Amino acid sequence: MNIAVFCASSRPTVPTFFHVAEQLGIDIAQRGHTLVYGGSNLGLMGAVSTAALQAGGSVTAVIPTLFSEEVIASQVVTQLVRVSSMAERKEYIIAHSDAFIALPGGIGTLDEITEVMVANQLQHLGKPMILLNVDGFYDPFLAQLHLIQDRGLLRTDCGLRIASTVDSCWSALEKEGEWMKEA
């Protein structure tokens, strides 16, 4: 299975985030899946991809050509896919992945999460989107989603599932039709 991981390429101030990113990378590799991600070797992206590779896994990096050739060449991965823009990167990752897991991240990560949710809600995708809610990172986002749903502005068929640990990600992937409930 190709599993996309959405997360920060910047260095967070919370050490737990790195530990969980590394654990997820190892788990993806040990379970025989391929990691598909945004291509950076920095921050949480670097942690998850390095851990997956060190555990013998397959890693596909999707990186826009807007980055320098030096940055692109510095990526140590199994497969490097070059695309022309950030939008094309997101489109490629979504099209070539069977499931999505979001670690903590910034606005780019939120954009990727919501893109998958919208595609699911429009019935264009039908793939699970797991929020790995490390130390409650996504609690405010989930509260906003609950408010949107309570106001009748969000249907429950957007594929969103919640996990608080790497182990529970795999349970969340298997729960068909679960909506905003922790695995």
C-beta of residue 169 within 8 angstroms of C-beta of residue 101: yes
Provide the percentage of residues in the chain whose pLDDT is more than 90.
67
Q: Supply the pLDDT for residue 158.
A: 80
Q: Which domains does the chain have, with CATH numbers?
A: 2-174 (3.40.50.450)
Question: What tens digit of pLDDT does each residue of 122-167 get?
Answer: 888 889 999 999 999 999 999 999 999 899 988 777 888 999 999 9
pLDDT at position 172 is 86
Q: Give, for 108, the enclosing helix (H) or strand (E).
A: helix 107-121
Q: What is the pTM of this model?
A: 0.93
Tens digits of residue pLDDT in 79-127: 989 999 999 999 999 999 999 999 999 999 999 999 999 998 888 888 9
CA dist 84 → 87, 88, 179 (Å): 8, 6, 34
Residue 28's pLDDT band (cuts 50, 70, 90): very high
Would you list the DSSP string of 4-55? EEE--SS--S-HHHHHHHHHHHHHHHHTT-EEEE---SSHHHHHHHHHHHHT
How high is the pLDDT of residue 72? 65
By percentage, how much of the chain surpasses pLDDT 70? 93
Please check whether residue 104 is in contact with residue 7, taking contact to mean a CB–CB distance below 8 angstroms. Answer: yes
Beta carbons within 8 Å of 163's beta carbon, 6+ residues apart: 101, 130, 131, 132, 133, 169, 171, 172, 182, 183
Residue 95, Cα to own-chain centre: how many angstroms? 13
What per-residue confidence (pLDDT) applies to 41? Answer: 86
